[in-house]
Amino acid sequence: MIPVELILLALSPVFIGFIAWEWYRSHQAANGIYRWQDSLANAVLALLHQGSDMLALLLLMPFFLWLHQFRLFEIDLTAATVALAFLLQDFLYYWFHRASHHIRWLWASHVAHHSSRQMNFSTALRQSLTYPLSGMWLFWTPMILLGFTPALVFAVVALNLAFQFFVHTQAVKRLGWLEWLFNTPSHHRVHHACNAIYIDKNFAGVLVIWDRLFGTFVAERADEPCRYGITEDFNSDNPLTITFYEWRKMLSDALKLSSVRQLPAVLFGAPKKAGNDDN
C-alpha cells in the first residue's frame, strides 16, 4: 500500500512543473485562469486527500486481503494482466464517476472537485478527504474478487488518477484522432463545465470509449464556451468549507425530515443541483 502513495508522490515534481509552466504561460497571456487563493486551496485539499487515502488504506487493507481469499481466479502478474487490470479499473472508474454525479452520498465528496470557477492543472489537486467515507474504494472490490491482488488494484488506481492530472488544462485544445479513444483536455473541460448542454457528461478516466458506448459523451463546442464550477452560487477558498459544503446541506435536509423512511432519498437520491445560470 505504501508504494501506491509513492506513485503520486514521485510524480509530484512533474505535477508542480506543469502547474508552474501553465501559470507562467497564462500570466504572460493575462488570461486570468489562475487565482493564487484558489490554487492554494487546491494544494491544501490535495494534502488532506492524500492523508485520508493513506489512512483509509492502512485501515482497510486487512479487509481487502481477507476479501482476496475468495477470489474467483489465480491471476499471475504479467504485462497482459497488468494491462487487463488497467482496462477493468478504468471501466469501473467510469461507473464510480458517473454514480458520483447521480447519487448524493457520492456527490457530497465529488462536488469539492467541481466547485472551483477556475480550470487549470491545479484543479486536478482539488480533491475531498471524505472519499473513503463516501465509499470510493467499494468500486474496486470486484477486481479483488476476480483475483487481482490489492497491491496491483491500487497501483492502477493511482496511475489512472495520475493520467487525469494532465486533462485539467485550457492550454491544450484538440488532439486529433486521440480524441476518439482517450479522455483529453477538451473532453474534460466539458465535464467541468456548468453549461446546461455539458452538465453530467464525459465521465472518462483514461478511455473516453465508455462515454461513447453508454451515451454520456458530448464534444466541446466552439459556439458554447465552457463555464466552470457548479450550478449553485458557491465561491470559497476555505478548504474546510469546500470539503463539507454538500455534507452540511445533506445533514440539514436530514434533520428536517418528518419520517426516517425519507432518509434514504435524502442520502442516496439525486443531488439537489440548482438550475443552470450564467454565473
Per-domain boundaries in the chain? 2-268
pTM for the full predicted model? 0.93
Q: To the nearest whole number, what is the mean pLDDT of the chain?
A: 93
Q: Is residue 279 pLDDT above 80, yes or no?
A: no
Q: Which residues pair with 228 in a beta bridge?
A: 193
Degrees, nearest 5: CA angle 222-183-101: 90
For the segment 126-153, the average pLDDT, to the nearest whole number, is 96
Express each pLDDT in 69-120 by its tens digit: 999 999 999 999 999 999 999 999 999 999 999 999 999 999 999 999 999 9
Q: Is residue 277 pLDDT above 50, yes or no?
A: no
Express each pLDDT in 44-60 by its tens digit: 999 999 999 999 999 99
